[in-house]
Structure 1
């Protein structure tokens, strides 16, 4: 189970670290081709989502790696589940039915949360 956790959590953390850095650092114009929803949300909120993604990615990796507050890995995974539920809601509200990536991320975050119970 440890190997499975590190594979799944590592991939999820890499995705969210990349996504979070983009949201935290790029302008609205540079984000728009990848994320059309940025036009409907104030940039401080987009930046905050990016910061949450970066912190969550670190939360998946650092606590189990250091052995300090390992329960934070489960909290980070649960946070990503909630984040994707919100993302699906935003996409559907905007009439965008392309939520497959969000649903995959939701499932992967849920599996990561389940696997994170080995650290408790």
Structure 2
């Protein structure tokens, strides 16, 4: 078996291997998906809700939720990334939130977190 030693071919092969390893670590997999943010806002006075989903930042998702709520007292109830969120309102007017990997899981968590009786889902949304 022939050894390469300090030959030009050995240095080129080593350089190519190191470059490939660095690019794999820095760039990550070619199909890596970026985070998608969502948010739900609500109006305490009217019960109106709004949401935003599939935004690149939490701030953009929250802004969209408030804008689609369309009431002056709307505020963000929750935000979530790469999952689902839900808000519920109980008979006494109290609100609760839930996050989950599916819409039904988020809904169940929002209802379970309620402090009032008979919570109803007011809004539920997922990122893609």
Please identify which structure carries the higher strand content.
2
Q: Which has the higher contact order (CA 8 A, sep 6+)?
A: 1
Q: TM-score, normalised by structure 1?
A: 0.24
